[in-house]
Structures are given as C-alpha cells and as structure tokens.
C-alpha cells in the first residue's frame, strides 16, 4: 500500500471528504456558509435538469476546458466533466510558435434543450483579430462533446432557447447585442441587433463608466430577463426586463454588496429555479490571487424583479435550498494517488499536452512526466495543474527521481505570473534541491543519493503568501527559500498548484519524473 493511502480514499468523493481536508460550505446542520467553492470557479452559470444541478465555469488556457460540476442540492458539488478536450484551432495551444495564455474558454453559458446539453463560450483572440465563439453539444455532461467554432465573435455569451423554437445568444461588453441562431444552435441565422447600450456609474444608476457584460437570459412568466454584472471586480449585478426579447428593456440593480470581502462585490452568475418553485442565484466574487469564487444566494421576487440575497445584500450563512432530500457533504476531488489509468477530473494541463510525453501506465501507480526542452516554466509543456484552495491549503507531492537526466528540472510550483517552485535540478549527474522565484533560483541544497523527495507548498489568503519545504522521509519537512507572494500577472486566472518536469539544455536527451501521489491539506 502506498504511503498516505488513508489520504487517497477518493473513489467516492462525496463520502471520503475526510480524506481531502479541504473547505466545504456545508455546515452539517441544514445551513451553508459562503463562498460555495473556495477556489477559482469564475463566471459561473447554472441549470437544473430534473433533480440534478450543473454548474459551468471559465477555464481560459487550461486543458481540458470548460469544467462542468454536478450537485443534487446546490451546496455540495463534484466534478462531472469538461466540454472541451483540447484546442486545435491554433498551434500556439501546443506551445508551438508561442503560447495562448488567457485564451481558450471565457464566460461559459450552459443550457439543456430537447435531451441535449449545450455549452457556449467566447475566445477573445485566436481565429481572426477579435476571436471567435464556440458551441459544444453532448447527450451527457460526461461527454463526448462535439464542438463547433463560429466565425462570429459573441463576447460573454448567454444562450437562450425560447418556447417558440427560436434560439438566441445575448452578448457584448458595454453594448449588448442579440444574435439569433439556427434551430440546431450551431450557426448564426441573422445579424446581431443592438438591444442595450446604457452604462452605469458606481452607485448603480445610469452613467458612462461601467457597461454591462456576462449576460444570461431567462423567460419567466412571459417576460424576458437578462442578468448582467457591471463595475468589474468591485461591481454589482443588474437585471434587464422586457416583454419582447428585442426590447425595449427596463433595469434594476438586484444586488450591490461587498460586505463579505470588501471592496470586491458580488457580480456575474446564473439564476436557477428549484422544483418547489424557489429561486437561487450562483454569483462570483473576486478574491485576488486565489481566484473568483462562487457564492450561493437566495432570490426574493419583488415587484417582478429577482432580488439577490436579502435587501440587495448577499447572505453569508443561510438555510440550504429545499430540494426535498438531504445529501452527503461533497467537494470536488483534489488529492490523487495516480492509481487510475485515466487522469482525474481535478487536473488540467497548462495548454494542450503532448500525450506521448506523459503516462499513468508506464509505471503503474505513478504519473510519469517526460521532460522536453523549455526555456522556463511558462513554456514547459505537460505541466499539470489544479486550483490552490482557500482560505489556506497545502499541496504535497512525492516524486521518484530515478529517471532524471542532465538539464532536467522537476517539482511542485505555485503557478501564475510570477510563479515560484520547489524542485530538483540535475547537472553533470549531480542533483540538488532548489527553490525558484519567477525562474530565478534563490536557494538550494545538496540532495546526495536520495531518489525520493516530498515537496510541499503552503498557501494562504492572508497576504497571499506561499512557503515551500521538502522532506526526505515524507514526515519531517525543512523550509527552503523565501516566502513567495502570489500575484495576478495573468489577468483573471488564479494561482494553481503545478506538477512539472522539463529540460533547459537545447539538444539534450531529457529524462522523466515519476509522481507517486499528490494531496492537499486544508484548514
């Protein structure tokens, strides 16, 4: 049995929560406390299909893309799948001729119609100067998904199937447009029509400073509603309403609150109705380098408007949604023993992986990463990531070094721009432990003949500080290097734990590293 086997009992993630030691919003007494997920799940949209809820999120350049979560009660969530397996429209997604940081999937929209799931998203650049729009369709959120790329650029899309058979996308930033799609939702039927161009000032009244974006569309009691954020990170949520989908629209601010994490406001998300008729809203809040985290908020209808929270203020602790049953505490899986020949859903690659350079079967029970040439970690392919969890979390990786070659660097990073890592470097047959800050090695120590090392990175939202340490026995850890402060040089993308292996000597024959397990310890 592997070391730390107790931590790896993750076959049934809703049962084995104890094995992960990560944040959960479920208080176990019929209440929950926001945030709903203490990690980077930005631009959430949510739907209900029968007794099941599905949430989708932005993932940018990470692969697979457009993650979909599943829940039975809107509080306890687990990963269900991804709508995008990889990006094939530009060689830079393979890190050939450049990189595609901050591209990929933005502002996903999810809907269910006539037995099929639909996921749409925009990509700000790639094909053409402005980018493009994608529609992914599947019979199940587990896939397989079929993706269609549109030549049109539909920014921050909100997909809507009307009850008369027509299909629309509301999109735009500042100025909102309505584009009708063909009945299969796979192509544009008619040119876009402008439906809104008014901006808002900081107090939420019409002005010139902050335009609307992040639209989602609903038809409720014969009226069309479009929910949109305004004001960015410190913003709020606006709702538009009309008897006609083309307008004219009236507006109402439906939540304007930063009380739970000032000065960052609740903004951008999706509306969903329970079977019993209750309405809820999942809405995000920016928490700096740890990402944009979702909140679950009750909705009260007032004068025909869906007011979020209570008195336009978000709730922190509240009674769980009444879904008719009680479900076990559950969070998305984090830890991994790499015993499964299929990569766990908690993982995403930094850009498209080279599938010939990684394996879960060459050394059963280990993730093998084969090194390839890269000038630094930003250009290193086959780097495997998952979210840094809040309010604090510690990632630990055990690595077998026997396969390393000269020029190899392998280890555990906290990745963004800048990044930092703790790892092992091999030069002229000699291995040493190193800690690097944004590519520059600032501390090191000899490794001797040790062939197995444990790396640890501990992160907190208090100052967004990370500390690194290592162990030669998996029990006793020694600090290495200095404190690292997480930042957001790549806008709108949170810091991540990263497992990596690359070689920085041109023309060298790279080796490989075997990761025995990775686990996260939370509060």
Residues noted as catalytic: 43, 213
Residue with tokens 């990786």: 397
- Nearest CA to 75 out of 381, 322, 305, 257 is that of 322
Residue 367 and residue 358 in contact, taking contact as beta carbons nearer than 8 Å = yes
Question: For residues 47 and 218, what is the distance between their CA atoms, to the nearest angstrom?
Answer: 11
DSSP state of 499: E
Residue 140 neighbours by CB distance under 10 Å? 11
Question: For residues 217 and 316, what is the distance between their CA atoms, to the nearest angstrom?
Answer: 26
Residue 486 and residue 493 in contact, taking contact as beta carbons nearer than 8 Å = no
Question: For residues 215 and 168, what is the distance between their CA atoms, to the nearest angstrom?
Answer: 12
Question: For residues 145 and 149, what is the distance between their CA atoms, to the nearest angstrom?
Answer: 13
Q: What's 284-323 look like in SS3?
A: EEECHHHCEEEEEEEEEEECCEEEECECCECCCEEECCCC
According to DSSP H, which parts of 189-339 are helical?
Answer: none
Question: For residues 418 and 420, what is the distance between their CA atoms, to the nearest angstrom?
Answer: 7
Tokens standing for residue 363:
């050394």
Q: Is 353 left (phi over 0), alpha (psi -120 to 50) or beta?
A: beta
Question: For residues 398 and 450, what is the distance between their CA atoms, to the nearest angstrom?
Answer: 13
Question: For residues 68 and 121, what is the distance between their CA atoms, to the nearest angstrom?
Answer: 13
Question: For residues 33 and 31, what is the distance between their CA atoms, to the nearest angstrom?
Answer: 7
Residue 335 and residue 26 in contact, taking contact as beta carbons nearer than 8 Å = no
Q: Dihedral sign for Cα 319, 324, 326, 328, please.
A: negative
Question: For residues 71 and 14, what is the distance between their CA atoms, to the nearest angstrom?
Answer: 10
Tokens standing for residue 454:
């444990």
DSSP state of 66: E
DSSP state of 407: T
Tokens standing for residue 31:
């209440």
Question: For residues 47 and 79, what is the distance between their CA atoms, to the nearest angstrom?
Answer: 15
HSE value, Cβ hemisphere, 13 Å, CA-based, for 43: 27
Beta bridge partners of 373: 503
């Amino acid at each position: 049995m592997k070391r730390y086997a107790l931590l790896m009992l993750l076959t049934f993630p809703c049962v084995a929560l104890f094995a992960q030691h990560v944040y959960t919003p479920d208080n176990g007494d019929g209440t929950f406390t926001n945030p709903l997920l203490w990690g980077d799940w930005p631009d959430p949209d949510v739907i209900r299909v029968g007794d099941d809820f599905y949430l989708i999120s932005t993932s940018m350049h990470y692969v697979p893309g457009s993650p979909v979560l599943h829940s039975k009660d809107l509080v306890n969530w687990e990963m269900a799948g991804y709508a995008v397996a990889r990006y094939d429209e530009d060689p830079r997604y393979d890190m050939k001729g450049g990189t595609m940081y901050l591209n990929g999937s933005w502002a996903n929209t999810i809907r269910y119609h006539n037995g099929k799931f639909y996921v749409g998203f925009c990509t700000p650049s790639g094909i053409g100067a402005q980018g493009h729009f994608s529609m992914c369709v599947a019979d199940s959120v587990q896939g397989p998904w079929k993706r269609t790329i549109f030549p049109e650029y539909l920014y921050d899309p909100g997909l809507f199937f009307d009850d008369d058979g027509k299909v629309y996308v509301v999109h735009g930033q500042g100025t909102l447009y309505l584009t009708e799609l063909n009945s299969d939702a796979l192509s544009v039927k008619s040119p876009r029509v402008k439906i809104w161009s008014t901006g808002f000032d900081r107090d939420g009244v019409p002005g010139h400073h902050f335009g609307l974006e992040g639209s989602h569309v609903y038809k409720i009691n014969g009226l069309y509603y479009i929910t949109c954020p305004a004001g960015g990170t410190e913003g709020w949520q606006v709702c538009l309403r009309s008897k006609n989908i083309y307008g004219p629209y009236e507006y109402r601010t439906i939540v304007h609150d930063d009380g739970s994490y000032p000065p960052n406001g609740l903004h951008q998300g999706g509306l969903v109705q329970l079977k019993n008729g209750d309405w809820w809203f999942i809405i995000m809040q920016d928490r700096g380098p740890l990402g944009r985290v979702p909140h679950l908020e009750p909705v009260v209808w007032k004068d025909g408007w869906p007011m979020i929270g209570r008195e336009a203020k978000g709730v922190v602790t509240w009674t769980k949604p009444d879904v008719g049953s009680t479900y076990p505490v559950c969070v998305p899986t984090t830890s991994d023993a790499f015993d499964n020949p299929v990569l766990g859903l908690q993982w995403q690659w930094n850009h498209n992986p080279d599938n010939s350079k990684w394996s879960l079967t060459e050394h059963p029970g280990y993730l093998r990463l084969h090194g390839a040439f890269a000038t630094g970690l930003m250009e290193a392919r086959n780097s495997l990531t998952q979210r840094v969890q809040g309010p604090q979390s510690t990632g630990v990786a055990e690595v077998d070094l026997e396969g390393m070659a000269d020029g190899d660097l392998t280890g555990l990073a906290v990745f963004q721009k800048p990044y930092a890592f703790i790892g092992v470097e091999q030069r002229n047959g000699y291995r040493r432990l190193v800690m690097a800050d944004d590519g520059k090695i600032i501390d090191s120590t000899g490794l001797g003949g040790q062939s197995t090392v444990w790396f640890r990175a501990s992160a907190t939202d208090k100052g967004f500080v990370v500390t690194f340490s290592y162990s030669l026995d998996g029990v006793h850890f020694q600090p290495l290097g200095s404190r690292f402060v997480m930042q957001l040089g790549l806008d709108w993308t949170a810091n991540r734990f990263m497992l990596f292996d690359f070689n920085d000597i041109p023309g060298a024959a790279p080796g490989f590293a075997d990761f025995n397990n990775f686990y996260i310890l939370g509060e």
